[in-house]
Structure 1
């Protein structure tokens, strides 16, 4: 339908030409050979690893051995995310894709690479908004200690002290999924996310809301009452006097 509209065609065509002209004037964009010859093949290797693992899980148990999901990433991949803007953007959107697909294994594998990215793009409001929204699809995983440790301790909390927007996004995520997180982990996160004197009003308000929700989850102290005994005394049966 869009292609039947001459005004839409005009807008799309002009936008395409404008972007092509911009690309010609920027030497650091896709004509870099390493972006095509090294980074994209690495990204495809993650896709292949994931597909291979999924196919393996479908095989009959007697035909396969226990194959763990790959847990390492090439150092060059992390370096690309740190030094190349386009590689970083592609990598971030791939992570959003696998999170939306509820692919916990692939997400945990690539998560460490997000701690240091080009211009801290992994901690930008746009990416965090999309990421936290997709993470709600993995709500049941928040009950797992390993998942929470990797996500919060290994990623979010590394930037909370220096980036208030990260602090806000984490608090909003916990407000939505606090009932899924293990109580002990939730308590430690509540303490780790306490606002400082320099924190803005939004962070303080969100933390107060989280505290209120956690207080409501705590069981009220049971009133100690003495339970009446249910045992009834046995009636005394007179014995006939001996004659």
Structure 2
């Protein structure tokens, strides 16, 4: 019989997690982008092997989306946006869990909470990238191409610029409204962010394999 548990984080709790992320960013400052991305990929792989609870699987999918976003040649994020993705992934390269990941059932809860906060902070980036994945998949199939091989194709340029421009406008709008800016740790229960679609299931992406989240 399923059990529903709701967690409410206070402002003090959110400040704690913001401090954890800042510490992780400082601790991973000496790592290359590749090392940070590889560490996040390793977390997803380890989680897959441990078969965590469903709610953890659903949130760990976001790590795969962020990894794909950073690796995707076709998406080609500007430097500032790449830095935001790296900042979001740095927590998973730090390895200082509140709850050790090898604790059954509970081991990835702190990771899941942090991912949820990252999802709210980077909602517009995630939505834009998901839309890009789906567009590339449709167009590649129409052109009888493998989406994994198209790279920075000319026919992707216009759609990529349109989606990244939308992403920046929405992020700037939220910043003016006091909701945070990029991965500036402006998350909170009153941020106004809605549910985040964590991954696109209708297109190829260069990230770690997806969980079977429906099990």
Q: Does the pair score TM above 0.5?
A: no
TM-score by length of 2: 0.24
Larger Rg over CA atoms: 1
Give the structure with the larger helix fraction.
1
Q: Which has the higher contact order (CA 8 A, sep 6+)?
A: 2
TM-score by length of 1: 0.22
